Amino acid sequence: MIKVKINGQEQSWDGDPDLPLLWFLRDEAGLTGTKYGCGQALCGACTVIVDKEAVRACITSVNDVAGREVTTIEGLHPNGDHPVQKAWRQVNVPQCGFCQAGQIMQAAALLMDNPKPSHDQIREAMSGNICRCGCYQRIENAIHLASTGV
């Protein structure tokens, strides 16, 4: 039996310990905010925060996060008012929106690590997250906004 804390709640799993965290979150725990985009750590759609770090849930097994704390988009802020989320809305970042949970989690992790990232630092830190609709310019603007106070 694997125990893991997700958005502050204790969850347990007694199935395949190698099950990717992504599918545990989506299909077993019903937290569908975290998305599948590639399954190979290539797109960032599945980004969650484990302890204080952004990780790709598609290549992280449930076993890997045993005893650790996982934050998904649903748990980032109780009312959805994390500075990154607010900035995202102010800048009207999303088009289809499918990549955005991953982008927001990545951006939140970036700001935890570096509260005032530069243009180049943002572009580097966010380049693991694909947006097929092409919202990059707005993502960068929203991160600048979040970092200067929304």
Return d(Cα 94, Cα 54) in angstroms, integer. Answer: 20
Give the dihedral sign, CA 9/47/68/32. positive
Q: How many CB atoms lie within 10 A of CB 89?
A: 13
Please spell the DSSP secondary structure of 32-50, one letter per residue.
Answer: TTS--S-SSSSS-TTEEEE
Q: Among ligand FES, other proteins, none, what does residue 150 contact (CB within 5–8 Å per kind)?
A: none
Binding partner selected for residue 56 from ligand FES, other proteins, none, CB under the kind-specific 5 to 8 Å limit: ligand FES
Considering CB distances under 5 to 8 angstroms, the limit depending on partner class, which of other proteins, ligand FES, none binds residue 30? other proteins
Q: Per CB under 8 A, does 113 bind other proteins?
A: no
* Residue with token string 């204790």: 10
45 touches other proteins (CB under 8 A): yes
**Interacting residue ranges for other proteins, rule: CB under 8 A:** 15-16, 19-20, 22-24, 26-28, 30-40, 42-43, 45, 72-74, 76, 80, 85, 88-89, 92, 94-101, 104, 122-124, 126-140
